[in-house]
Amino acid sequence: AQSVTQLDSHVSVSEGTPVLLRCNYSSSYSPSLFWYVQHPNKGLQLLLKYTSAATLVKGINGFEAEFKKSETSFHLTKPSAHMSDAAEYFCVVRAAGNKLTFGGGTRVLVKP
Amino acid sequence: NAGVMQNPRHLVRRRGQEARLRCSPMKGHSHVYWYRQLPEEGLKFMVYLQKENIIDESGMPKERFSAEFPKEGPSILRIQQVVRGDSAAYFCASSPTGLQRTGNTIYFGEGSWLTVV
């Protein structure tokens, strides 16, 4: 069985400050992990993915995430938030088979 | 190369009516997935199909829901006798092969928002 926990349902940051979105997973297998972003009433855009190569993964729009097996974590960071980063972010795990398991989402608010 | 196309983007149905949601995968993709997103929640897996075959429907409600992916044409998610609790966003995704063999990436459409009144 696999599961994903996003530790914060809402995160509020000021423009230009760092963003940290926390994600912990559980999996019986060596997982693949993803972060997706969803803007209001829009579809999902892949930010980055980890598939057992480098543990520090760089994605689009300045985001990156680090896979830490010992902590079963895959936190997403960005050094400097932009207004356009306001959206909902989903941490996703695929352990085996063809099913993706989504976390509950973290809604990011960026204050000017 | 067009992405995953879903239609309609928004659909309103009265209780008891049928809803049909269509999904055209990316060109060259023969694997389709449907996910449902209830308000304020993450996406939940419903069904995985290849052309003319349902591979995994473990996330589909046992009644009123069905999915198909015919040899020709889009994949269809059909909900019969809709109820208010079916109001959600339904996302389709596609991949060229099963996830173990595609670099583990699937591509999502923009979703179909169903409202049951």
Selection from A41, A22, A30 nearest residue A91 by Cα = A22
Decide if pLDDT at A64 tops 80. yes
The amino acid present at B42, given as its one-letter code, is: G
Sorting pLDDT into bands at 50, 70 and 90, what band is A30?
A: confident
Pairwise CB contact (< 8 Å): B42 & A104: yes
- Express each pLDDT in B15-73 by its tens digit: 999 999 999 999 988 899 999 999 878 899 999 999 999 999 999 999 999 999 999 99
Sorting pLDDT into bands at 50, 70 and 90, what band is A41?
A: confident
Tell me which DSSP letter residue A61 carries: G
List B residues 84-103 in contact with A (Cβ-Cβ < 8 A): 91, 98-100, 103
Measured CA to CA, the distance from residue B74 to residue B2 in angstroms comes to 14
Measured CA to CA, the distance from residue B24 to residue B73 in angstroms comes to 7
- Express each pLDDT in B97-111 by its tens digit: 766 654 557 889 999
Interface probe with A: pick from B23, B31, B45, most Cβ of A within 10 Å: B45
- Between residues B28 and A60, the one the model is more confident about: A60
Q: Which SS3 state, helix, strand or coil, does residue B79 take?
A: strand
- C-beta of residue A21 within 8 angstroms of C-beta of residue A9: no
